[in-house]
Amino acid sequence: KQSWLNRLKAGLSKTSSNLTTLFVGAKIDDDLYEELESALLMADAGVEATQILLNALKKKVKDEKLTESEQVKNALRTLLIDMLKPLQKPMVLGRHQPLVMMIAGVNGAGKTTTIGKLARHLQSYEQSVLLAAGDTFRAAAREQLAIWGQRNNVTVIAQESGDPAAVAFDAVQSAKARGTNVVMIDTAGRLPTQLHLMEELKKVKRVIGKGMESAPHELLLVIDGNTGQNALAQVKAFDDALQLTGLIVTKLDGTAKGGVLAAIARARPIPVYFIGIGEKIEDLQPFNAEEFVDALLS
Ligand code: GDP
C-alpha cells in the first residue's frame, strides 16, 4: 500500500509543491490567499472550485480564529476532502449477471491499459471477466487488448473488422452463455468534437441494450489526469452524449494537474471509481478522497 501512495504523492508533488510550500511559516494574509489561488488554478482546479475553496477557507479561518499557517493548511485539507468525497463511490459488483461495462475515452487516455488492470482487479474479487475489442479501427488496439487478455487469462472477443456494436453485442451474448460475471467493452478513442464517432458510441450503447435490457450497467470514461481542464471538457461532453456512470482518472503518478478532480466534483460529480498510478497491471486503486488530498498536501 505504501508504494502506490508514494507514487501518487510523487506524481502529485508537481501540483502540491506549490500547495504545500506556500503554507510553511506563512503569515495569514491576502498574499497567502493569492498564492493559494494561483496554486489551485495551476493545479487545474478551475475557477469555480478555486473560488469556493478560497471563500470557504477564509470563512473557516475567521470563524475558528485560526492563527497558524499549519491550521489553515489543515482547514484546506478538510475543505478539499469534503469537496472530493462525493466522487468516492465504490463500483458495486454482482448487481447483474453479466455486469456489462462500456469504456470510452480519447486516444491515449489509457483505456486499454485500464481495462487490463481492471480485469485483474475484478478477478481478485472472484469475478470472471470477458473482454470485447470494440476498437475495430486499429489492429494495434485489438492486439494490445489481446495481450492484456493473455496476461489475465481471460477471453477476448474480437472481429477482424466491422461494427463495434456487433462486437459488443456478441460479447454480451457470449458472457450470458458462459455465465461470465463481468464484460468489459473497449471502444476506439475519439474526441467529443467528432460527432459521427460520438453517434457511433451511442449506437454501441443502444445495441448492448438490445442484447441485455438493463445493460450497459456501467458507462465509464477514462481520462488522463495530466490533461487538466481538457479532461473536464471531456467528462462533460461524454456525459452529455452517453450518461456516464463512472470515471477512471489515469496517470496520476506523473501529473501537475491533480486539482482537476475538484473541478469535476463541482461541475459533474460522477464517481471516480479508480485512479491509475502507473503502467503496470497492479497500478490501479480505488479512489479515496482522504488519501488523495493527503498525497496532494504532503
Ligand atoms: P488508450 O489509447 O486510451 O487505449 O490508451 P493506452 O491504454 O494505450 O495508454 C496510453 C499510454 O498511457 C500507454 O503508454 C500506457 O502505458 C500509459 N498509461 C496508461 N495508464 C497509465 C497510468 O496510470 N500511469 C502512467 N504513467 N501511464 C499510463
pLDDT (tens digit, 9 = 90+) per residue, 42-64? 888 999 999 999 999 999 999 99
Q: pLDDT band at residue 296, thresholds of 50, 70 and 90?
A: confident
pTM (2 d.p.): 0.95
Omega within 30 of 0 (cis) for the link into 98 = yes
pLDDT at residue 15 in the model: 64
Query: Which stretches of 212-272 are DSSP H helices?
Result: 229-242, 260-267
Rounded mean pLDDT, 27-48: 92
pLDDT at residue 298 in the model: 81
pLDDT at residue 173 in the model: 96
Query: Ligand 1: which of 253, 274, 279, 280 to mutate, judged by most atoms within 8 Å of the beta carbon?
Result: 279
Per-residue model confidence as pLDDT tens digits over 241-263: 999 999 999 999 887 788 899 99
Pocket of ligand 1 (CB under 6 A): 105, 107-113, 189, 250-251, 253-254, 276-279, 283
CA 231 to centroid of ligand 1, rounded, Å? 15
Closest CA to 84 of 270, 246, 276, 285: 270
- Give the DSSP H or E segment for 133: strand 129-134
d(Cα 80, Cα 86) in Å, to the nearest integer?
A: 11
Per-residue model confidence as pLDDT tens digits over 54-99: 999 999 999 999 999 999 999 999 999 999 999 999 999 999 999 9
pLDDT at residue 126 in the model: 96
pLDDT at residue 147 in the model: 95
